[in-house]
Structure 1
Amino acid sequence: MNEPAALTTLLDLEDIQLPPVSDVVVRDSDLGAFEREVAAAELAVQEARYDDAVELLSELHLAPAQYPDLALRSLLAESWARMYRGELDEALELLKTAKLVAHRPGFNDLDRAEVLFRIGCVRVKRGANSRAVNDLTLALELCERSGRPSDRLRAEILQWRSRCYQHQRDFDAARTDVEHALELVDSLGDTRVAAHVNFRASVVTERTGEWLLSRFYAEKAKDLYEEAGDSANVGRLLNNLGGLNFLLGRPEVAVGCLTQAVAIGLEGGNEMDAAYAISSLAQVLLRTGAPLLAEPHARHAIRLLDGRPDVLDELGNVQLVLGRSLLEQELFDEAGEAFDAAEATFAQFESVSLLAAAWCAQGDLALARSDSNSAAELYRRAAEALQDFNF
C-alpha cells in the first residue's frame, strides 16, 4: 500500500502556506448556528454515530480565515468519523488542512499536538506503525512544550502509541506507555478516556500472557463504558472478554460474551464490531474442535471485513481461522488459498508477528501434505522473523 509522505515535523513552519486573511465580518447569528452544527457533530463522534457526524459536517463549509476555531473543530471531528468509517485517505486529507489551520496565529502547541495525534491515529489504522510512533512522539513533545494542562491528550497519545509498540512486538515499551497513561487518568476524572486506557491495558497484558490481569482491566473498562453510556465499546469489551474467558478455560462463558457482542454490534448498526465478534466466535469454535461450524462464521466475518483498509489485522486473522478450519477438514487447496490471502493481507500491515503466524500456518499445511522440507523452511522463516537479536 502506498503511504503518503510524512506530514509533520517540529521545524517545518516556514514551508506552510497559511490560508489568506479575510476581511469578512462574522455575524453573531452565523457563528451561533455554526457552533451548534459543529457541537452536534462532535457529540455524534463521541457517541460513535460516525455517519451522522459526516452528514452534518459535509454540508458545512467553514472558512478558516473567518471561523478558525470552529473550522479546526469541524476538521478534527470529521476526520475522526471518516477514520472509523475506514476512509483513511479522506481523513488524512482533512488533517492536512487541520494542520495548516492549527499553525495560524491564535493557535498554540497544544492545538498542533491534537492534530498530530490524530494524524498518528490514522497511520495506526493504516498499519504504518513506524510513522505513527514518530507522529505520536512529536505530539507528546508538543504537549510538553506547550506548558498547558494536557493530561487528557497525553493519556490518549500514550495509549495509541502503546498500540503501535504492541504491533512492533516491543511489549516493554507498550507496557510502559499504558502504565503512564493509567497514572494520568487516575487524577483526570474523564470516564471515557479512563475506559480507553484500561481497554488498552487489557490488550497489552493479554499479549504478554497475564490473562487474569487482562480480564481485570477489561472488566474495569467495560464498567467505565457502561457508566459513560458507550454501548459500542461495551460490545467491543465483550468481544475481548470472550477471548480472555476462552484462554482461561471457560469456553461456555466465552461464547456467551461473544454472542452478546455480535448482538450489540448489529443492533447499533456497526457491522465492523459484529464482524470482530463473529471472527472471535469462529476462533473459539475452531479451537474447541468444531471446524465445520467455524468455517461459515469465518466466511461471514471475511465478507464484512473485506475492503476495509483499517481492519487489515483482523481480516488476516480470520483468513487464518478459515484456512485452519479447512485444513482440519483436509481441504488442502482451499486452505492454501486462505493462508496465502492472510499472508498478502498481513504484508500490508507493519507487524512481523502477524506475518510469522501466516508462515506457520502455511508450514502446517505443508506438513499435512507430507512436504517436510517446505514446512521446515516456512517454520524457519517465521522463527527468524521473530528473533530479537541479529549478531
Structure 2
Amino acid sequence: MATVAAAPDIGSRVGALRRAAGMTQEGLADGRFTKQYVSQIERGEIIPAGELLDWLASRLGVERVVLETGLSTPDLERISERLAHGQRLLDEHRHVEALEIFQSLRGSLTHGAPRSAKRSVVRGEAWALIRLGRISEAADLLGEARSVADGPTGTRDEQSEVAYLTAVCCYSLSDITTAQAEFGRALQLLDEADETDDRLRLDIHQWRSRCHRRQRDFEAAREDIDRALELCHALDDVRRRAEVHLQASLVAERLGRWVLARRYAETSRDLFEEVGDTVTRGRVLNNLAGLNHSLGVDDVAVSQLREAFAIFVDAHLEIEAGYVLSSLAEIHREQGDLEEAGVAARRALEFLEGRIDHIQEVGTAQLVLARAHLDQGKLDEAEDLLGVVDASYAATESVAHQARSWMTRGELELLRHNESEAARLYREAAVALQPPDN
C-alpha cells in the first residue's frame, strides 16, 4: 500500500495521465465508482492500492509502477544499470566519472522514485566526494540526506547509513571524537532496524577500528575488527573480505604481531587481485612492504614498494604514490642513503600537497625529511621542519604520531648538547605512548 506521503504524487499522476488521455473524471470511473471518488484520488484524499491501483493503471494505459513512482519499468531498469555502472567506477577508482554518474542521477530522479534508488545515489555520490577529498561537499550532501532520513517516512537502516557515512567524513577530517559518536549512533540505529544489514554493520565496525587505532586503543580496535571478520566470513562478498583483512593487518601490526599482520595483508592482497582491483592491491603492497621492513626483509620491501608505485603512477593516483614515496624515504634514511631519502620525501610531499584528509601521511613525509636533515647535521633545517610536523600531527588527534615528533626533537636537542630539554621531550613522548586507562 502506498504511504500517505506518496499519495498526493500518485493522485497528481492519475490526474495528469487522465487529462493526457482526454478523459473526464467520470470517464475514468467508467461506472465503477463516482466522479467524486476520482476527484478524491487525484487530490490525495484516497490512497489507491492493490487491485484498485492495477485497475487505474489499466484504464490509463500505463504500468502500475508509473503511478507509484512516475517511472516506467524500462526507466527503473535504466536507473539500476546506471547505479551499477557508477559503483563499478568507484570500485575501479575512477572517482570523477563516478561522481558525474551519481550527480546526474540525483538530478534526474523524480520525487516518487524508489527510496532504495535515492539511497544508492546519495551513497555513491558521498563516497566519490570523499575519495576525491571533497569532504565538506560530502558532509553537506549527507546533511540533506539526514533531514530526509530523520523525517516521518525515514527508516532506521537509512538513518544508520547516513550516520556511518557522516562518521567517515569526520574521520577523514581527523575529527575522531565526532566520528566515534556517529559510528556508535549508526550501530545503535541498526540494532533498532526492522531488518538486519550485516554488510553495513561490518563496514561500521571496520571503520570504527580505525578511530580506535588513531586513539591508540588497540584492544578496542581488535574487538571491532574481530567482529568485522566474523561478519565477513558469513557474507559472500570478496571485496569486503579483502578490505577487512587489510584493516585486520593494520590492527595486528599496532599490537606488534607482525607475522600475523603480514598473513592478513597477504590474504587481502590476494583477495583484491581476485576481484581485479589492482589499485587497492597496490595499497596493500605498500603495507606489506612496511611489515617486511619491520621483519628485516628490506629487499622484498623495496621491491613491493616499487611495484606499488608503478601501479599508482599508471592509475594517476598521486595520493597513493605519495604514500609509497614516504615509505621508500624512510627505508632509504634507515639504510643511510640520506640523499635518496630527502628526494623521495620531497616528492611525496609534492604528491600530497593540500590534502588535509591525508594530513597524517603528510606529517610522516615531513618527519622523514626532518630526520634526514638531522642525520646530515642540518640542525636548523630540521628544527624548522619539525615545527611544521608538529602542526600536521596536531591536526590528526594521534598522540602516537605526535610522540614521534617529540622524540625527534629530543634527538635534535641532544645534538645541541641540551640534555635537560632532550630529557623533557623524551619524557613527554613516553607519557603520550602509555596505553590509555580502561
Greater shift in the superposed pair: 185-194 or 102-111: 102-111
Counterpart check, 1:161 vs 2:205: no
Counterpart check, 1:146 vs 2:193: yes
CA contact (8 A) 1:64 1:101 kept: no
Greater shift in the superposed pair: 195-204 or 27-36: 27-36
- Residue of structure 2 equivalent to 1:66: 112
* Alignment gaps of 5+ in structure 2: 14-66
CA distance in 1 between counterparts of 2:266 and 2:329 reads: 23
Counterpart check, 1:53 vs 2:98: yes
CA distance in 2 between counterparts of 1:66 and 1:92 reads: 25
Note the alpha carbon deviations across 1:34-76, whole angstroms, 9 max, x for none.
4433332222112221111112233441467333433322121
Displacement of 1:176 after TM fit?
Answer: 0.8
Which amino acid in the other structure matches residue 97 of structure 1? E
- Residue of structure 2 equivalent to 1:12: none
CA distance in 1 between counterparts of 2:224 and 2:332 reads: 34
CA contact (8 A) 2:139 2:166 kept: yes
CA distance in 2 between counterparts of 1:99 and 1:19 reads: 19
Which amino acid in the other structure matches residue 130 of structure 1? T
- Residue of structure 2 equivalent to 1:170: 217
- Residue of structure 2 equivalent to 1:350: 397
Which amino acid in the other structure matches residue 267 of structure 2? K
Counterpart check, 1:295 vs 2:342: yes
Which amino acid in the other structure matches residue 65 of structure 1? H
- Residue of structure 2 equivalent to 1:27: 71
What is the TM-score of this pair, normalised by structure 1?
0.90
- Residue of structure 2 equivalent to 1:120: 167
- Residue of structure 2 equivalent to 1:11: none
CA contact (8 A) 2:288 2:301 kept: yes
Note the alpha carbon deviations across 1:355-374, whole angstroms, 9 max, x for none.
11111111111111222222
CA contact (8 A) 1:245 1:251 kept: yes
Displacement of 1:291 after TM fit?
Answer: 1.3
Counterpart check, 1:39 vs 2:84: yes
Note the alpha carbon deviations across 1:322-347, whole angstroms, 9 max, x for none.
10011111111111122111110011
Counterpart check, 1:333 vs 2:361: no
CA distance in 1 between counterparts of 2:108 and 2:136 reads: 21
Note the alpha carbon deviations across 1:170-201, whole angstroms, 9 max, x for none.
01100111111111111111101111110001
Displacement of 1:31 after TM fit?
Answer: 4.3
CA distance in 2 between counterparts of 1:19 and 1:164 reads: 40
Which amino acid in the other structure matches residue 200 of structure 1? Q
- Residue of structure 1 equivalent to 2:301: 254
- Residue of structure 1 equivalent to 2:156: 109
Of 247, 271, 278 in structure 2, the residue corresponding to residue 231 of structure 1 is 278
Displacement of 1:21 after TM fit?
Answer: 7.2
What SS is found at the alignment partner of 2:377?
Answer: coil
Which amino acid in the other structure matches residue 93 of structure 2? A
CA distance in 1 between counterparts of 2:92 and 2:251 reads: 25
CA contact (8 A) 1:194 1:221 kept: yes
Q: Which structure has the larger Rg over C-alpha atoms?
A: 2
Counterpart check, 1:367 vs 2:419: no
Note the alpha carbon deviations across 1:87-141, whole angstroms, 9 max, x for none.
1111111111222232345542112211211111111111111111111111111
Greater shift in the superposed pair: 136-145 or 162-171: 136-145
C-alpha distance 231-301 of structure 1, shift in aligned 2 (>3 A): same
Note the alpha carbon deviations across 1:193-220, whole angstroms, 9 max, x for none.
1111100010011111110000000000
What is the TM-score of this pair, normalised by structure 2?
0.81
Which amino acid in the other structure matches residue 325 of structure 2? I
CA contact (8 A) 1:72 1:102 kept: no
CA contact (8 A) 1:298 1:321 kept: yes
Alignment of 1:7-18 (within 5 A): none
CA distance in 1 between counterparts of 2:427 and 2:8 reads: 61
CA distance in 1 between counterparts of 2:409 and 2:235 reads: 47
C-alpha distance 48-380 of structure 1, shift in aligned 2 (>3 A): same
Note the alpha carbon deviations across 1:135-179, whole angstroms, 9 max, x for none.
111111112211423221111111110110010010110011111
CA contact (8 A) 1:88 1:309 kept: no
CA distance in 1 between counterparts of 2:244 and 2:435 reads: 28
Of 199, 210, 229 in structure 1, the residue corresponding to residue 257 of structure 2 is 210
Which amino acid in the other structure matches residue 42 of structure 1? Q
C-alpha distance 59-150 of structure 1, shift in aligned 2 (>3 A): closer
C-alpha distance 21-245 of structure 1, shift in aligned 2 (>3 A): farther
Between the two proteins, what is the percent identity of the paired residues?
37
Cα RMSD of the aligned pairs, angstroms, is 2.1
CA distance in 1 between counterparts of 2:110 and 2:150 reads: 11
Counterpart check, 1:131 vs 2:178: yes
CA distance in 2 between counterparts of 1:33 and 1:103 reads: 29
CA contact (8 A) 2:202 2:228 kept: yes
Counterpart check, 1:285 vs 2:329: no
CA distance in 1 between counterparts of 2:77 and 2:230 reads: 38
C-alpha distance 38-325 of structure 1, shift in aligned 2 (>3 A): same
Q: Which has the higher contact order (CA 8 A, sep 6+)?
A: 1
CA distance in 2 between counterparts of 1:213 and 1:351 reads: 24
Which amino acid in the other structure matches residue 27 of structure 1? L
CA distance in 2 between counterparts of 1:249 and 1:302 reads: 26
Counterpart check, 1:312 vs 2:356: no
C-alpha distance 189-204 of structure 1, shift in aligned 2 (>3 A): same
Which amino acid in the other structure matches residue 349 of structure 1? T
